[in-house]
Amino acid sequence: AQKVTQAQTEISVVEKEDVTLDCVYETRDTTYYLFWYKQPPSGELVFLIRRNSFDEQNEISGRYSWNFQKSTSSFNFTITASQVVDSAVYFCALNTGFQKLVFGTGTRLLVSP
Amino acid sequence: DTEVTQTPKHLVMGMTNKKSLKCEQHMGHRAMYWYKQKAKKPPELMFVYSYEKLSINESVPSRFSPECPNSSLLNLHLHALQPEDSALYLCASSQDETSESTDTQYFGPGTRLTVL
């Protein structure tokens, strides 16, 4: 069975702080894909990143970076110098095929000025 | 252009009403999805259409009836809903060449449904 755990329910930071959102996944498949989505208060799920199980390179996109470690089944997301606009719920998700995304329970990030 | 549009944005309906939610994408994607999301929960998959055919129904009650008129459009027909069906309904699409595909799903802004 596939499972995604986001242990942090809610995180509060002050603007310009760095913050890391944790994601731990479980699967027996050797080929799988991991995703992060952002859901602002407006409701739309915004795609941030897709990573396959064979690519363990860390990725950086502006203030966002992702750390994928197969040894610990983790795919953590760091926001550097957080901004108020980063306030949202962030979902980590796993897809092992057949069009089914398994979502974690989400982490609510609140960035205050 | 990764855009999925949904109408209406908000919908209030009584338990005896019939209404429809609409979703459209112009990315040439071959798979389209309906998700239901309750407050403070992750999205839950309801239906998947692949190449305009229903490929997944996650045991959704028959008061929800999906329809895929063509590869760009997806509807969700609602009839005799219950107050507990109030939720955010999200549509998504993905490229999906085969049913085993793990392509990125792109989501629309959702329809906030309230059933009175």
Tens digits of residue pLDDT in B67-96: 999 999 999 999 999 999 999 999 999 997
Residues of A in contact with B55 (CB under 8 A): 99
| Residue B7 CB neighbours (<10 A) | 13
Q: Are the CB atoms for B100 and B68 separated by under 8 Å? A: no
The C-alpha atoms of residue B92 and residue A95 are separated, in whole angstroms, by 15
Q: ∠ at Cα A38 (B25, A68), nearest 5°?
A: 110
Q: Are the CB atoms for B78 and B86 separated by under 8 Å? A: no
pLDDT confidence of residue A57: 86
Tens digits of residue pLDDT in A46-69: 999 999 999 888 889 999 999 999
Q: B102, B105, B113, B114: which to substitute to probe chain A, counting the most A Cβ within 10 Å?
A: B102
The SS3 call for residue B102 is: coil
Residues of B in contact with A96 (CB under 8 A): 102
Greater confidence, B96 or B12? B12
Res. B99 pLDDT band, cuts 50 70 90: low
- Judged by CB atoms closer than 8 Å, whether chains meet at A104 and B42 is answered as yes
Label residue B23 exposed, middle or buried (CB < 10 Å: 0-12, 13-18, 19+).
Answer: buried
HEC string of chain A equals: CCEEECCCCEEEEECCCCEEECCEEECCCCCCEEEEEEECCCCCCEEEEEEECCCCCCEEECCEEEEEEHHHCEEEEEECCCCHHHCEEEEEEEECCCCCEEECCCEEEEEEC
Instruction: Work out how many CB contacts closer than 8 A connect A with B.
Output: 58
The SS3 call for residue B83 is: helix
- Judged by CB atoms closer than 8 Å, whether chains meet at A33 and B102 is answered as yes
CA end-to-end span of chain B, whole Å?
37
- Judged by CB atoms closer than 8 Å, whether chains meet at B110 and A32 is answered as no
Nearest to B45 by CA among B35, B56, B55, B54: B35
pLDDT confidence of residue A99: 81
Residue stretches of chain A with pLDDT short of 50: none
- Judged by CB atoms closer than 8 Å, whether chains meet at A101 and B107 is answered as no
Residues of B in contact with A37 (CB under 8 A): 107
pLDDT confidence of residue B85: 97
Residues of B in contact with A103 (CB under 8 A): 42-43
Q: CB-based contact (8 Å) between B98 and chain A? A: no
How close A63 comes to chain B (CA, Å)?
A: 22
